[in-house]
Amino acid sequence: MTTLISKEEVASLVRPTRLHKRLYLDPDVFELEMERIWGQAWIFIGHESQVPNPGDFFTTNITHKIPVVMVRDKGDSVHVLHNRCGHKGAKLVESRQGNVRGAFRCPYHGWTFRHDGGLLKVPNESGYDSTGFDSSDPCYSMQSVAQVESYRGFVFATLSAEAPDLKTWLGGAIDCLDNLCDRAPEGEVEVAGGVLRYEHQCNWKFILENLNDTMHPMVVHQSVVQAAEDYIATLPESAVEQRSEAEIIPPFGSSYEKFEDSGITGFRYGHHYDGGKTSIHADYKVLPAYHDAMVKAYGEERTREIYAFNTHNTLYYPSLTIKSAVQNIRVVRPIAVDRFVVETWSFRLKGAPDEMLQRTLLYSRLINSSFGMVGPDDHEVYRRAQEGLESNASEWVEFHRQYGRDQVLEDRVIGGGTSDLDMRTQYKAWQEYMTGEVFQ
Amino acid sequence: MSNPDLKQIEQFLYREASLLDQPDLDQWMQLFTEDGSYWMPAMEGQSDPLNHISHIYEDRVMMEIRRRNFVHPRSASKEWPVRCSHLLGNIQLQNQTDSGDLVVTCNFHVIVWYREEQRVYAGTCEHHLLAEGDDYRIRHKRVDLINPEAAQRSMVIYL
Ligand code: FES
Ligand SMILES: [Fe+2]
């Protein structure tokens, strides 16, 4: 794809403490983001547990448009293939998930493909004899995405052959994926309880900026926190004790000091998390049956260590954000400059009692549902920004908080929980991806 | 009430719908029993509200929190007026639950005016009704959208 925006022009849109409004409004910038960021970074496709049996598949788009299918083959390997027939390009599977049994069969002329994408059979093949058609040429198969790797069941793919291996790319932020899985007594998680899809009518970057924007919860979520706190205060203690809502909602109203203490840690390629020593999830009760299973699996000391690493949101820029301490994830799927979908998936901790999954689902429902009391207020302020930025009062949005105070360590940058370190981290990566220098 | 009167049941459902149309969550909540619940599954034919995600699954405590949130002056998503128009049809008395509640199903179309946009929701409802004198109370209301798996936009009101 050729672009009309020069490298210098793109680079000039991001400054150390401000961003040009074209990042949110300009369809050409969006197309370039799809090509340079979503077309190069490791994008989260799905979790291996979504395709437990040979022939099971799950479909999604790796950019705003490019359709891919994650599929398990008979040898138990999981592939991510372009969802495109090697003949005339028809999408092989259309449903979000299912099982293709023996092979993929194109609905158009009936070409079939193995689970690893290889061309199996072309009907009435003699018509191709001595025509120069070479059925072993990969261009006639369902081609694999350039690189596919999974880490603890989380399957990522990249359209770039130049991207470093997944572990290198994840860097120190890998600790949060480990922590999510380590919270399972069996050390493994699996997708459970379905998915929520939430259409956002604004630019995809707003949600990434919001994840670790700890200056917003006490403002945006004031209403639900007050509604919950005021009403809970009128209830008898015995009625409140058993309710996870009473631990989940109020911490959104935590003070600036509390959020400052949680800290933010940033990494290469735009990844970052807030919390670590503490987070708004740190005071959840530990279910005795769960604790017993953990201690049995890990011993008391390691169990405490796993609990103690308590993060709020981790972003694996640009597509995946996880809550290790809650065991749910949100996946960003961009559609257009002012539209994207967020998928919320929840995980079962293998070896943990059902109540753990139920709490995760309760959290997803309360916080991430489009019909919830938290998500719609977040979405509303993103849309206000999307609409407000059309104004020509200024071309820039600012992010100065604690600029110049970040502590730069060897593989990470750490700073205050209410700083804009998360912004600095992700827009450094944005600039590197967009100018084509990211993997050089 | 030994012989449930469909006409009366219909009148009750219409009254409930018109409270949501306004919307008057205060009065609407009062229609529920103390152990009443509201459920909007996120999957077709979903059988489990606890071990599977839902769009909404709330009891009276959460309804009261939602009501307070709904009228709170500092909630940006609620600065927009919300008005609904429910149309119910195909109202049928099905059977009784083990505890004797009447199971009533109906189809609904709801047009919602929110954020300068007119939106359509459609699906089926299942009410579990407790007969109380000449009146009813809702023990459980289940709302099945025809597109529960679709990406949904922000919505701040019960349907
Ligand atoms: S397009 Fe698939 S077989 Fe022709
Ligand atoms: Fe928020």
Taking only the tens place, the pLDDT of each residue in A242-256 is: 889 989 999 999 999
A261 and A118 co-located in one domain: no
Q: Which of A43, A297, A355, A327 has the alpha carbon at shortest distance from A190?
A: A327
Looking at the structure, do residues A268 and A296 belong to the same domain, yes or no? yes
Residue of B46, B50, B154, B159 to mutate when probing chain A, most A C-beta within 10 A:
B154
Residue A119 contacts by C-beta under 8 Å, 6 or more apart in sequence?
A86, A111, A112, A113, A135, A136, A140, A141
CB B66 within 8 A of CB B157: no
Q: How many domains in chain A? A: 2
Least confident window among A129-133, A235-239, A306-310: A235-239
How many whole angstroms separate alpha carbon A93 and alpha carbon A338?
27
Partners of residue A209 on adjacent β-strands: none
Q: Identify whether A92 is part of a domain.
A: yes
- Quick check: is A24 in a domain? no
pLDDT score, position A341: 98
Atom of ligand 1 nearest to the CA of A90: 1
Q: CATH number of the domain at A284, please.
A: 3.90.380.10
Could you tell me if residue A311 is inside a domain? yes
Residues with Cβ < 8 Å from A277, sequence gap 6 or more?
Answer: A261, A262, A263, A308, A310
Same domain, yes or no: A250 and A179: yes
Same domain, A256 and A386: yes
User: Angle, to 10 degrees, between the axis of helix A300-308 and the axis of helix A288-298?
Assistant: 120
- Cα-to-centroid distance, A78 and ligand 1 (Å): 24
Contact state of A376 with B55 under an 8 Å Cβ cutoff:
no
Mutation for testing the A interface, residue in B26, B69, B119 having most A CBs under 10 Å: B69
Tens-digit pLDDT profile for residues A250-303: 999 999 999 999 999 999 999 999 998 889 988 899 999 999 999 999 999 999
A106, A125, A151: which is the final residue of a domain?
A151
Residue A62 lies in a domain: yes
Residue type, A220: V
Q: What is the pLDDT tens value at each position of chain B, 159 positions in all?
A: 456 789 999 999 999 999 999 999 999 999 999 999 999 999 999 999 999 999 999 999 999 999 999 999 999 999 999 999 999 999 999 999 999 999 999 999 999 999 999 999 999 999 999 999 889 999 999 999 999 999 999 999 999
Give the range of the structural domain holding residue A363, as residue numbers without chain letter.
166-434
Q: Chain A to chain B, count of Cβ pairs less than 8 Å apart? A: 112
Judgement on whether residues A373 and A278 belong to the same structural domain of the protein? yes
Task: State how far the Cα of B141 lies from the Cα of A9, in Å rounded to an integer.
Answer: 56
Per the CB < 8 A criterion, the answer to whether A277 and A417 are in contact is no
pLDDT the model gives residue A438: 95
From A91, A92, A93, A111, the mutation candidate for ligand 1 (largest count of ligand atoms within 8 A of CB) is A111
Does pLDDT of A327 surpass 90? yes
Q: How far apart are CA A254 and CA A146, in angstroms?
A: 44
Residues A337 and A224 in one domain: yes
ipTM of this model?
0.96
Q: Is the peptide bond before A318 cis (omega within 30 degrees of 0)?
A: yes
What does the angle CA B4 – CA B5 – CA B8 come to, to the nearest 5 degrees?
Answer: 120
> Of A99, A123, A151, which one is at a domain's C-terminal end?
A151
Say if residue A119 is in the same domain as residue A179.
no
Nearest chain A residue to B150, by CA: A197
Domain of A52, CATH number, reads 2.102.10.10
Taking residue B85's Cβ as centre, other Cβ atoms within 10 Å add up to: 14
Residues of B in contact with A224 (CB under 8 A): 65, 69, 72, 75
Residue B2: the pLDDT is 53
pLDDT at A146 over 50: yes
pLDDT-derived band at A2, boundaries 50, 70, 90: low
Identify the domain boundary among A105, A128, A151. A151
Cross-chain CB nearest to B42 (options A196, A220, A377): A196
- The reported pLDDT for the residue numbered A239 is 85
* A322/chain B closest Cα distance in angstroms: 17
pLDDT at B1: 46
What does CATH list as the number for B6-145?
Answer: 3.10.450.50
Number of other CB atoms surrounding residue B103 within 10 Å: 16
Range A379-392 average pLDDT: 98
Q: Which residue has the tokens 């998390």?
A: A273
Cα(A123) to centroid of ligand 1, in Å? 10
Residues of B with Cβ-Cβ distance to A365 under 8 angstroms = 53-57
What ranges do the domains of chain B cover?
6-145
Q: What is the mean pLDDT of residues A336-362?
A: 98
Chain A contact for B56, CB < 8 A?
Answer: yes
pLDDT digits (tens, 9 = 90+) for A397-439: 999 999 999 999 999 999 999 999 999 999 999 999 999 999 9
